[in-house]
Amino acid sequence: SGMITIDPGYKNTGSCESAITFLDGEKGILRYRGYSIEELAEKAEFLEVAYLLIFGHLPNKEELERFHNDIKAESHVDEEMKKILDGFPKSAHPMGVLSSLTSALVAFNPGSVNVSSEKDMYWAIVKILAKFPVLVAWTLRKKKGLPLDYGDDSLGYVENIHKMMFKKPNHKYETNKIVIDALDKLLILHADHEQNCSTSTVRIVGSSHAGLYASLSAGISALWGPLHGGANQAVLEMLEAIEADGGDTKKYMAKAKDKNDPFRLMGFGHRVYKNFDPRAKIIKVAAEEVLADLGIDDPILEIAKGLAKEALEDKYFVDRKLYPNVDFYSGIIYRALGIPTEMFTVMFALGRLPGWIAQWREMRLKSEPIGRPRQVYTGEKQRPFVCLENR
């Protein structure tokens, strides 16, 4: 009732109170439950961060072990789900496949929908943290023509994900600490980012009391877009295009500034950060370290660094406070780890899963009302119906 203020893109509208993630876009600060992202990326493991985001405190050894054991006990997916995966062409984009499979999980876990107690919620959460990595691995393996496998309970959460994705039949699975640590760090840096497009989607779908998995499936769809999580794939494709074009970064800078050209510098700019995205800072250093440690000399890293340097000195980008965001350097690491470009946004989803869950849980525990924005009507005034023969 009364005056309705319109705020396209909700640039200035708060949708909730939240105690999960603190973000100061002017200063470039990001904290999960009060802990700085720099410290968590350096010292914590992804599963600890997941627990922290969802339950609000860092787990002690016993809590973490119980959580991990519960996840291991649920890390199987109904075999019928393979038939659904089977129906997709190999060329299907993994994000579309995963949002469908996540939605399909509801049918096989109907108890996850009407969560009337914290215990019900806990098991819905444990199950998706256990099963989503299996679906991710299956999606990649189908693309590669590899048999669909299950995980290995003896491994850590992240190493197990890596093994499920990459193990080849009749080959001993081998990885190294550099790869797993890099993956762990990237997942932590993506784990939550307050009320972004996909998280707001999860909360608003969940606010109708659709179940957790339906809400997550919607979140995955929201993340897919190139203005959001899909930017990491778009960045790498852009860098490859620049490389193929002889490394002419100036040409692409000019395109990005040209208001008649829809091209944007992918991986640049952010709704909230008007200063360095703290995640991009960490990922840039990590990309250099991982490539050096793995002995990879990737010309794309040089192109990215050159592009960033030019943009940071350019009046257009400076005036608009456009800095590299989380997606700018992450693909360079994924590529070094052998992850196909089409899977980059899936890696983002894997990382963001605990954040989406934490936000959904917070919303449900606070019994927030259904999300239902208003509008200002600008259409026709009332007019009489015209019969088909008279039109």
Which residues bind to ligand CMC, rule: CB under 6 A?
Answer: 9, 196, 227-229, 231, 256, 264-271, 320, 322, 325-327
Min dist CB 30 to ligand CMC, Å, is: 12
- Strand 21-24 with 29-32, pairing: antiparallel
Only one residue has tokens 């899909």, namely: 230
Q: Considering beta carbons, is residue 48 or 277 the nearer one to ligand CMC?
A: 277
Rounded least distance, CB 191 to ligand CMC, Å: 13
Tokens coding 27:
């200063």
Residue closest to ligand CMC (Cβ): 269
* 8 A C-beta contact, residue 351 and residue 40: no
270 is catalytic: yes
Spatial distance between the Cα atoms of 103 and 213, rounded to a whole number of angstroms: 6
Q: How far is the CB of 266 from ligand CMC (least distance, A)?
A: 5
Query: In whole angstroms, how close is the CB of 49 to ligand CMC at the nearest point?
Result: 18
Is residue 348 within 8 A of residue 230, CB to CB? The reply is no
Q: Is 68 a catalytic residue?
A: no
Decide whether 68 or 228 has the Cβ nearer to ligand CMC.
228
Give the residue with the Cβ less far from ligand CMC, 51 or 268.
268
Give CA–CA dist 275/26, Å, rounded: 6
**With respect to ligand CMC, which residue has the nearer C-beta, 173 or 263?**
263
Q: How far is the CB of 20 from ligand CMC (least distance, A)?
A: 17
Catalytic-role residue among 24, 270, 277, 314? 270
Burial class of residue 381 (count of CB atoms within 10 Å of its CB; 0-12, 13-18, 19+): exposed
Shortest spacing between CB 16 and ligand CMC, in angstroms: 18
Kindly tell me which of 136 and 256 has the beta carbon lying closer to ligand CMC: 256
Taking alpha carbons only, the member of 241, 253, 252, 267 closest to residue 330 is: 267
Is the CB of 51 or the CB of 273 nearer to ligand CMC? 273
What backbone torsions phi and psi does residue 36 show, to the nearest 5 degrees?
Answer: -70, 145
The string of DSSP letters for 218-243 reads: HHHHHHHSTTTTTHHHHHHHHHHHHH
The three-state secondary structure class of 187 is helix
Contacts 24+ apart (CB under 8 A), 381-389: none
DSSP H helices, 117-274, are 118-144, 157-166, 177-189, 197-206, 212-224, 231-244, 249-257
Q: Which of 184, 192, 277, 327 is catalytic?
A: 327
**What one-character DSSP code corresponds to residue 268?**
B
CA distance 137 to 139: 5
CB of 325 to ligand CMC, least distance (A): 4
Q: Which is nearer to ligand CMC, 92 or 253 (CB)?
A: 253
State the catalytic residues: 270, 327
